[in-house]
A and B are shown apart, each in its own frame.
Chain A
Amino acid sequence: MYANDVKMSWEEVIEETRDFLSEEFEVDRNLILPENSLKETLDLDSLDYVDLVVLIEENLNIKITGEDFKEIVTFGDFYQLVRKKLNL
């Protein structure tokens, strides 16, 4: 079920995002907080960003480009990007 296909609240989008990120990257979901670093928390290398793009597309049905990631440091930045792409 995609966020773009059904009317999900912003809070539901965030919770779903925390769920799939913690499951895929094997990270405690309690560490996925707006103020924490996306790269450090998920322990991302350059190849992992491709997995992240695939996950976002599969779960939220939005496309993220390399340019988009240039502005993202924290999960808060990431959530804002998702919100913008979902027009929420």
Chain B
Amino acid sequence: MIVPQESINQYIPHRDPFIMIGSLVSATAERFESEFLIKENNVLVEGGRLTESGLLENIAQTCAASFGFLDREEAGEPKIGFIGAMTKVEVYELPPVNSTIRTIVVPLHQLGNIYLVKGESFREGRILLGCEMKIVVTQ
């Protein structure tokens, strides 16, 4: 683990109750990985499960935290990123409260300050959701 849950807000602009990432497990230019424990009081939980919106936000925040971590590694200030577009969204399963999800993001392409990434979230080895996102990073 490279960023524990208690320090994650140093790398993302989000604040409670909208933090949808737990710890950052790893982040390299080629691959980001995070973990997230879904609590009952999460604002994006409905009917005892994290919604699709929560899973998508988790992928976006995994990107944000990873970009922030990598920026800081290069002695720069973390930049703010925005979701520009989402495509190829496929939802397989919604995770229940008190479960931990693992999210893997792979940057596919970069054009200037726009990144195309592929994100997937998993629980106990089963895929929950997959998508592609365009993330626009402030310059």
Contact = CB atoms under 8 A, between A and B. Distances in A.
Interface of A: 46-47, 49-50, 53-54, 57, 65-66, 69
Given A46-B114, A47-B114, A54 B108 contact: yes
B4 interface: no
B131 to A, nearest CB: 15
Contacts, number: 24
Interface residues of B, number: 10
Contacts of A50: 109, 111, 114, 116, 134
Nearest to A66: B112
Given A47-B136, A54-B116, 11 more contacts: A46-B136, A47-B84, A47-B114, A49-B111, A49-B114, A50-B109, A50-B111, A53-B111, A65-B111, A66-B111, A69-B111
